[in-house]
Amino acid sequence: APRITIEDLSLAFRTGTGPFVALDRVSFDIAPGSFVSVVGPSGCGKSTLLKLLSGVYSPTSGRILFDGKPVEKERLQGQVGYVFQRALLLPWRTALQNVMLTMEVARRSMTRAQREAEALKWLEIAGLKGFEHRFPHELSGGMQQRVSICRALAFRPQILLMDEPFGALDEITRETLQNELLQLWQQTETTVVFITHSIPEAVILSEQIVVMSARPGRVVERINVPFPRPRV
Ligand code: ADP
Ligand code: ADP
């Protein structure tokens, strides 16, 4: 994964009452393969930052660099996987077919059988063996969220962006998925940028915590978590 440099990034939304500064000159670095959490009060610009990192939004000013070079939207979109607070699965596709979706789009040189084999592998790692052919409405919320994480990973993104992926889950499911995510992360070279409202969750998961404040959205602190977690 590339080293990500966020340089003086600002975004002002146009609103009915004039421009609204959601992000104000945010700068920080994300080391390749690291796990970074972004915490802060509601409205401080966490989601906005993730949408800039994924190329959904363009900044008003400032830049995002990969290995020191400016990146275009298109390149961001090609390298980034996204997991939302609520699993956005296609209801008419099974768990397996949902996971295969990103491979159909991004990894076209694979045969159908190869895609299927890899999707099955991800689902097994995520503890969903036996549920591959269920439709989303036949799965619990936690299972659906696992499927959406598998779908993002199957795309083999260099950067995985997660916007409060476990926020809507019960505590037990959340703990299980936190552990699974850490295991998956340790097995890949993926850089993870993880939004959460929960400081304990940020401490458990990440190597670095970026603390933001609201009005305007700014980075106020960066905390390195001492983390002797082995990488496989
Ligand atoms: P974020 O920090 O991810 O942007 P927000 O608190 O700003 O989260 O919420 C984003 C949107 O999602 C808001 O419209 C909010 O009402 C809704 N939302 C957030 N958490 C929940 C939840 N647990 N249940 C239902 N809706 C939620
Ligand atoms: P967070 O994820 O930290 O809860 P967001 O990034 O969702 O915060 O939003 C940051 C601020 O920008 C909030 O005050 C929100 O109301 C505002 N905002 C987000 N999206 C838009 C938009 N499309 N237009 C105008 N204001 C927006």
pTM, to two decimals: 0.83
Query: Counting atoms of ligand 1 from 1, which one is nearest the CA of 164?
Result: 3
* Selected residue with higher pLDDT from 39 and 228: 39
Q: pLDDT at residue 228 above 70?
A: no
Residue 229 has pLDDT above 70, yes or no: no
**Any atom of ligand 2 within 6 Å of the Cβ of 44:** yes
Hey, what long-range contacts does 208-211 have (CB within 8 A, 24 or more apart)? 208/30, 208/34, 208/35, 208/36, 208/37, 209/36, 209/37, 209/38, 209/39, 210/28, 210/36, 210/37, 210/38, 210/39, 211/39, 211/40
pLDDT for residue 226 is more than 70: yes
Q: How far is CA 153 from CA 127, 149, 157, 162, 195, in A?
A: 15, 6, 6, 11, 17
Q: Is the pLDDT of residue 227 over 70?
A: no
Instruction: Provide mean pLDDT across the span 191-216.
Output: 93
Q: What is the ipTM of this complex?
A: 0.69
pLDDT (tens digit per residue) in 136-183: 999 998 899 999 988 988 888 899 999 999 888 888 888 888 888 888
CB 192 within 8 A of CB 139: no
Ligand nearest to the CA of 212: 2
Q: Residues of the chain with pLDDT > 70: what percent?
A: 97
Contact 69, 107 (CB under 8 A): no
pLDDT over 90, % of the chain: 62
Our mutation pick for probing the ligand 2 site, out of 11, 13, 162, counting the most ligand atoms within 8 A of Cβ, is 13
> Which pLDDT does position 164 carry in this prediction?
93
Nearest ligand for residue 52 CA: 2
Residue 79 CB less than 6 A away from ligand 2: no
User: What's the 135 CA to ligand 2 centre distance in angstroms?
Assistant: 32
168 lines ligand 1 (CB under 6 A): yes
pLDDT at 102: 85
Please give the Cα distance from 10 to 1 (Å, whole number): 24
Compute, in angstroms, the gap from residue 48 CA to the centroid of ligand 2: 6
Distance 94 CA to ligand 2 centre (A): 33
Q: What is the pLDDT of residues 68-122, one digit of tens each?
A: 999 888 878 778 888 988 888 999 999 999 999 988 887 778 999 999 999 999 8
Residues in the chain: 232
